[in-house]
């Protein structure tokens, strides 16, 4: 029986391939080791020397110190990363890849601020409650407030305030006269002077609705060669009972008792603020009481102009308690306080914003004032 001839390579090819791979791997390792003939310090020094010999390719620019601070902190964390220990009562590894946020506990007596799982309701390190991850910074009205200044830490951090400094609640970061705390309560941006609480939120009705009356009444007109002299009866007891004025003149009162200072009489004239514009003579025929006979009645009128705002008021002879307009007092509680007396149509300013009174309405418990913001044409009712 013939014996088959043995072939060494065919019988041991797998061993030969393994040995060849091992030799190749050793060779690569030797080459890599030979390339590391310098120590890390020597390599760093050689690199620095080479960089100094190269001419600069870019001009030097000013660097924000805050950016350098952040980069320096990042470098320190890279060289010496913070090591986290898993609490004894918790299982698992903090090397697991998952979304993490900082613990919101920044209380000086129990500072934590460690990375914790995103949806944690309680910190696994300090066991402090965490703000819900679904709440945004602006709508979280009851989050953690380490310094107890009324502004949650998350809101303060968003706008660059110090969550551990209670004094920043009284500051005005954007110079719009509103404090940071007032901006938080109004849900406005404390770093944008255009975004601020409504000025009208600090304006209130400070009096009952009242009717302003004319302080005199038109009594009679005396013909003159050049026109008429008009006589008015003054209602105030501190003035003389009557006064006169020509068309075009301002009505002036005289004090009932002259004022003397150091034995000398002072000017006793007081301007009324109303000027005579026009006089119109009119008569009407009315029946006598209990008779069909008619008699002439003087119903002449005079047009008066209020000098302050050019408002014209037509007054009939003998008319008493002539109403000028309804008015009310408003009180602004900002910038040291400000009192305003307004009527329908009055325009006024609060800070640098202009408003106009649209309507005054007497209500059961007081007065309602409708005010129009002339910048955006919005309306608001004050009570």
Query: What pLDDT is recorded for position 81?
Result: 54
According to DSSP, the residues that pair with 116 across neighbouring strands are 101
* Strand positions, DSSP E, 50-178: 100-102, 115-117
- How close are the terminal C-alpha atoms of the chain, in Å? 124
Query: What pLDDT is recorded for position 170?
Result: 92
User: By the 8 A CB rule, do 342 and 369 touch?
Assistant: yes
Strand duo 216-224 + 269-280: pairing: unpaired
Does 84 map to a domain?
no
Q: List, for residues 178-200, the tens digit of each pLDDT value.
A: 899 999 988 889 988 888 888 88
Query: What pLDDT is recorded for position 223?
Result: 93
Question: In terms of domains, do 305 and 236 share one?
Answer: yes
Does 81 map to a domain?
no
User: By the 8 A CB rule, do 98 and 118 touch?
Assistant: yes
Query: What would the mean pLDDT of 16-41 be, rounded to a whole number?
Result: 76
Question: In terms of domains, do 219 and 317 share one?
Answer: yes
Question: In terms of domains, do 133 and 191 share one?
Answer: yes
Does 362 map to a domain?
yes
Does 193 map to a domain?
yes
Does 5 map to a domain?
no
- Distance from C-alpha of 366 to C-alpha of 71, rounded to nearest angstrom: 62
Does 144 map to a domain?
yes
- Distance from C-alpha of 173 to C-alpha of 81, rounded to nearest angstrom: 35
User: By the 8 A CB rule, do 358 and 346 touch?
Assistant: no
Question: In terms of domains, do 219 and 316 share one?
Answer: yes
> For the chain, how many residues are written?
383
Could you tell me the residue range of the domain that residue 193 belongs to?
113-197
Task: Identify which of 129, 166, 123 has the alpha carbon closest to the alpha carbon of residue 147.
Answer: 166
Query: What pLDDT is recorded for position 285?
Result: 84
189 three-state secondary structure:
coil
Q: List, for residues 186-237, the tens digit of each pLDDT value.
A: 888 998 888 888 888 889 999 888 888 899 999 999 999 989 999 999 988 8
Question: In terms of domains, do 312 and 345 share one?
Answer: no
DSSP 164: T
- Distance from C-alpha of 309 to C-alpha of 342, rounded to nearest angstrom: 13
Query: What pLDDT is recorded for position 303?
Result: 95
Does 248 map to a domain?
yes
What is the tally of structural domains in the chain?
3
Task: Write out 335-372 in H/E/C secondary structure.
Answer: CCCEEEEEECCCEEEECCEEEEEEEEEEECCEEEEEEE
Q: Which residue has the tokens 């939120």?
A: 201
Query: What is the model's pTM?
Result: 0.48
In this prediction, residue 60 has a pLDDT band, given cuts at 50, 70 and 90, of low
Question: In terms of domains, do 282 and 338 share one?
Answer: no
Query: Quick one: which H or E segment has residue 32?
Result: helix 13-35
Task: Identify which of 326, 355, 373 has the alpha carbon closest to the alpha carbon of residue 207.
Answer: 326
Average per-residue pLDDT for the chain: 81
Q: List, for residues 342-365, the tens digit of each pLDDT value.
A: 888 889 998 888 999 998 888 766
């Amino acid at each position: 029986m013939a014996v088959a001839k043995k072939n060494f390579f065919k019988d041991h090819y797998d061993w030969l391939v393994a040995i060849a791979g091992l030799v190749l791997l050793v060779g690569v390792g030797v080459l890599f080791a030979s390339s590391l003939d310098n120590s890390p310090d020597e390599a760093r020094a050689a690199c620095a020397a080479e960089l100094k010999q190269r001419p600069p390719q870019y001009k030097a620019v000013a660097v924000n110190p805050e950016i350098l601070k952040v980069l320096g902190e990042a470098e320190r964390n890279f060289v010496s990363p913070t090591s986290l220990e898993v609490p004894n009562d918790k299982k698992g590894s903090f090397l697991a890849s998952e979304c993490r946020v900082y613990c919101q506990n920044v209380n000086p007596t129990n500072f934590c601020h460690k990375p914790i799982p995103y949806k944690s309701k309680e910190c696994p390190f300090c066991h402090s409650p965490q703000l819900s991850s679904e709440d945004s910074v602006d709508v979280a009205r009851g989050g953690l407030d380490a310094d107890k200044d009324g502004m949650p830490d998350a809101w303060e951090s968003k706008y660059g305030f110090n969550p551990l400094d209670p004094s920043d609640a009284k500051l005005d970061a954007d110079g719009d006269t509103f404090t940071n705390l007032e901006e938080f309560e109004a849900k406005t941006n404390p770093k944008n002077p255009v975004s601020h609480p409504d000025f009208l939120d600090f304006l209130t009705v400070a009096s009952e609705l009242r009717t302003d009356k004319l302080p005199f009444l038109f009594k009679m007109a005396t013909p003159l060669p050049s026109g008429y002299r008009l006589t008015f009866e003054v209602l105030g007891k501190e003035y003389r009972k009557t006064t006169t004025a020509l068309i075009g003149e301002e009505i002036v009162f005289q004090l009932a008792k002259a004022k003397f200072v150091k034995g000398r009489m002072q000017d006793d004239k007081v301007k009324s603020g109303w000027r005579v514009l026009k006089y119109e003579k009119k008569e009407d025929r009315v029946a006598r009481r209990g008779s069909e006979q008619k008699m002439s009645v003087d119903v002449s009128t005079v047009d008066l102009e209020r000098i302050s705002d050019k408002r014209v008021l037509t007054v009939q002879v003998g008319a008493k308690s002539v109403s000028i307009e309804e008015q009310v007092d408003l009180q602004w509680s900002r910038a040291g306080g400000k009192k305003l007396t307004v009527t329908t149509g009055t325009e006024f300013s609060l800070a640098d914003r202009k408003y106009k009174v649209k309507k005054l309405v007497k209500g059961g418990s007081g007065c309602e004032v409708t005010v129009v913001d002339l910048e955006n044409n919005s309306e608001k009712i004050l009570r």
